[in-house]
């Protein structure tokens, strides 16, 4: 059995495209770059945020593959914390010719719907635009892009559009149906 999944690709082509969230969600939220590459922490964030919305593409990676991802020059993970607890993250993937992909972005389920996502996305997009400032030798960012799909959170597309992203491609595919993996085996049992 399979399900139909629509994937939308969106982009910004100037830092002036970014429309920041109206206001921070409160004094208890802070966003910090995970500066020490940690495959364990990266995998935790990936499964905690994406477990209920079918993020599965990285689940089969080895430790060495995770390590390669987090140690790439220019790769960055920015984590939102509420009162010291990770609430969500944005992962930046530098590509050639001044292109930065927001490869992953999202909130842990308990933190969704509380206006943290708009703030985190605004911050993460701004960090994509100024990535070359932190990585000498990298070309200045000329384009920031991402993709989202019909399996992502109900507010995802609206958040991207409100932050100034524009749609540039849409694809429709069939994917195997089945339960979301959850953040750990048996999480939804």
Size of the chain in residues:
189
- The single-letter DSSP state of residue 188 is T
Average pLDDT of 68-91?
96
Helical ranges in the chain per DSSP H: 39-50, 63-70, 116-129, 131-134, 156-162
Residue 136 burial class via C-beta count within 10 angstroms: exposed 0-12, middle 13-18, buried 19 and up: exposed
The topology under which CATH files domain 2-175 is Aminopeptidase (3.40.630)
Note the pLDDT tens digit of each residue in 169-187: 999 999 888 777 777 666 6
| Predicted pLDDT of residue 92 | 98
Contact by Cβ (8 Å): 75, 91: yes
| Predicted pLDDT of residue 187 | 64
| Predicted pLDDT of residue 188 | 60
Helical ranges in 8-62 per DSSP H: 39-50
Other CB atoms within a 10 A radius of the CB of residue 83 amount to: 9
Average pLDDT of 143-160?
93
Contact by Cβ (8 Å): 172, 15: no
Contact by Cβ (8 Å): 104, 46: yes
Mean pLDDT, the chain, whole residue set? 92
| Predicted pLDDT of residue 19 | 96
Note the pLDDT tens digit of each residue in 5-39: 999 999 999 999 999 997 777 779 999 999 999 99
Contact by Cβ (8 Å): 10, 17: no
């Amino acid at each position: 059995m399979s399900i139909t999944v629509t994937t939308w690709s969106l982009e910004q082509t100037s830092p002036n495209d970014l429309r920041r969230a109206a206001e921070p969600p409160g004094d208890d939220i802070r966003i910090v770059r995970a500066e020490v590459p940690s495959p364990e922490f990266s995998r935790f964030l990936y499964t905690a945020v994406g477990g209920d919305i079918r993020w599965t593409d990285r689940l089969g990676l080895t430790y060495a593959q995770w390590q390669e991802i987090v140690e790439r020059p220019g790769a960055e993970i920015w984590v939102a914390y509420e009162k010291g607890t990770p609430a969500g993250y944005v992962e930046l993937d530098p590509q050639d010719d001044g292109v930065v992909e927001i490869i992953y972005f999202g909130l842990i389920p308990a933190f969704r719907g509380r206006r943290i996502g708009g703030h985190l996305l605004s911050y993460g997009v701004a960090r994509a635009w100024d990535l070359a400032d932190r990585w000498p030798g990298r070309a200045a960012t000329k384009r920031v892009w991402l993709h989202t799909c019909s399996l992502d959170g109900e507010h995802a597309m609206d958040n991207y559009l409100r932050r100034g992203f524009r749609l540039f491609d849409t694809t429709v595919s069939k994917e195997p149906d089945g339960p979301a993996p959850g953040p750990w085996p048996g999480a939804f049992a």
